[in-house]
Amino acid sequence: MLYYLNILSDYAASGSWLRPFNVFSYITFRAACAAATAFFISVLCGEWVIRKLIALKLGQPIRSAEEVHKLNELHGAKKNTPTMGGVLIIGSLLISTLLWARSGNMMVWLVLGVTLAMGGIGFCDDWLKVSKKNSAGMSSRIKFGLQCLVAFGIVCAFYFVPSIHEKAFSLFVPFLKDPLIPCMGFGIALVFFILVIVGTSNAVNLTDGLDGLATGCTATVVATYAALAYLAGNIKHSAYLLIPYVPEASELAVVCAALLGACFGFLWWNAYPARVFMGDTGSLAIGGFLGTVAICCKQEILLVIVGGVFVMEAMSVILQVASFKLTGKRIFKMSPIHHHFELSGWKENTVIVRFWIISLLFAMLGLATLKLR
């Protein structure tokens, strides 16, 4: 919305006090302002949101000792810590984006739409958990079906909206300057987009098991994609780095910056020991956000590298389940893998900080691939 203030400078005479409004046309300026706005909204409103969640008795149910054994001793004190704190992240992101992003950009609305839709699914899941006082929540089949429905909507949007159709169905791979698949069919694109959006959403959800773990890892990933979106939307930078040029993608840098600020603000309250959890409301929304941004700037495969911690967490669950079903033995003491390290004697805050460091290294590795083409 504030982007359009730059129009005032177009009609201003040289030396006029209206000339500085030109700064609102710069993506870097608006991205910085979006991050700051989201951060302060999250920090300033956090106390009020936490009190409301407590008043509504939306406490996080903890799995029983029979289910998690020793982990129950480590996390038992977290019982009834308010959950659904993802509403704070989503709210900060939404307000900041509406203020600082260019409203005429279709990709901005696509990303926000997926974020809200995934957040809604997560909200329903959280509500079932707290209302039934059970950690099971929504049926996995229903949740997966709803997530696939959201991904289907994205495929339709890319297919039927001319302004964003170009390159939407191309598949680019790191280290290659030309697309691996120039044009995927609707069916292939649907399967691929479901894999990216639903996979990322659930991977972030699995990572959200310790205080601030998913929030901190999200910050490194979204900061990286803010840079990637900005580069993809700049014809000179994209040509120099041999990455796909997507004209409307640069505006997503503002949206990514808003999420970055929202995450830092939420971390103010979510850092160990957490006063509030994001719940599925936040984790599913963040995963949907990251997957959609990756698709928009045609860096889906790179998300495997940049979001390496999320991949590591998801793969640990897949390997654990597969190993137990095939051999009757477990690879890890418990999955996701952050619990394995907890049960191995690492303190919770040690696991969190070390995973943040690993996430930062993955992000740097992902950026390094830009010149290897």
* pLDDT for the residue 5: 59
Tell the residue number behind the tokens 């070390």, with chain if given: 354
**Mean pLDDT, range 109-135, rounded to an integer:** 90
* pLDDT for the residue 253: 97
Distance CA 371, CA 373 (A): 6
Q: Which of 64-68, 215-219, 245-249, 306-310 has the lowest mean pLDDT?
A: 64-68
Closest by Cα among 350, 352, 93, 91 to 216? 352
**Between 144 and 61, where is the model more confident?**
144
Where in the chain are the domains? Answer: 27-371
Distance CA 222, CA 215 (A): 10
Structure tokens at 198: 């639903």
Closest by Cα among 244, 205, 251, 310 to 3? 251
Q: Is the pLDDT of residue 18 over 60?
A: no
* pLDDT for the residue 184: 82
Q: Is the pLDDT of residue 135 over 70?
A: no
Distance CA 308, CA 64 (A): 30
pLDDT tens per residue, range 269-283? 999 888 999 999 999
* pLDDT for the residue 169: 81
Distance CA 196, CA 314 (A): 13
Answer left, alpha or beta for residue 242, where phi above 0 means left and psi between -120 and 50 means alpha.
Answer: left
Q: Which of 111-120, 129-138, 153-162, 335-344 has the lowest mean pLDDT?
A: 129-138
Give me Rg for the CA atoms of the chain: 21
Q: Which of 168-182, 271-285, 333-347 has the lowest mean pLDDT?
A: 168-182
Q: Is 11 exposed, middle or buried (0-12, 13-18, 19+ CB in 10 A)?
A: exposed
pLDDT tens per residue, range 94-121? 999 999 999 889 999 999 999 999 999 9
Q: Residue 347's pLDDT band (boundaries 50, 70, 90)?
A: very high
- Residue 227 is which amino acid? A
Decide: 122 and 285 in contact? Cβ < 8 Å: yes
pLDDT tens per residue, range 58-82? 776 665 544 456 666 666 667 778 9
* pLDDT for the residue 13: 44
